[in-house]
Amino acid sequence: MRFPKTTNVYEQVGILIPGATLVALLTVSFPEARSQLANTSVSVGAFGILLVVGYASGQLVAALGNVIDLIYWKLWGGVPSTWIVGPRPKLLSSSQLSRLDEIARSELGLTCPPIKDQTAQEWYPISRQIYSFVETHRKPVRLDAFNGSYGMNRGLCASSWCYAAIIAAASPEHAAYAFFALAAGAIYLYRMHRFSVHYARELYVQFLTPAPAKGAKSKTKQVRAGL
Q: Does residue 223 form part of some domain?
A: no
The set of long-range contacts for 64-73, using a CB threshold of 8 Å and a minimum separation of 24, is 64/158, 64/161, 64/162, 65/18, 65/151, 65/154, 65/155, 65/157, 65/158, 68/154, 68/157, 68/158, 68/161, 68/189, 69/1, 69/154, 72/189, 72/192, 72/193
Q: Does residue 227 form part of some domain?
A: no
Q: Does residue 61 form part of some domain?
A: yes
Q: Does residue 216 form part of some domain?
A: no
Q: What is the pLDDT of residue 214?
A: 59
Q: Does residue 206 form part of some domain?
A: yes
Q: What is the pLDDT of residue 220?
A: 44
pTM for the full model?
0.82
Q: How far is CA 108 from the centre of its chain?
A: 25
d(CA 65, CA 156): 9
Domain containing 162: what range?
9-210
Q: Does residue 129 form part of some domain?
A: yes
Q: Along the 227 residues of the chain, how does pLDDT read in single tens digits? A: 544 444 467 788 889 999 989 988 888 887 665 555 555 555 545 566 777 888 888 999 999 999 999 999 999 999 999 999 988 899 999 999 999 999 998 888 888 888 989 999 999 999 999 999 998 888 888 898 999 999 999 999 999 999 999 999 888 777 888 999 999 999 999 999 999 999 999 999 999 998 766 555 545 444 444 43
Q: Does residue 217 form part of some domain?
A: no
Domain count, the chain: 1
Q: What is the pLDDT of residue 226?
A: 44
Q: What is the pLDDT of residue 181?
A: 95
Question: Coil, helix or strand for 88?
Answer: coil
Q: Does residue 125 form part of some domain?
A: yes
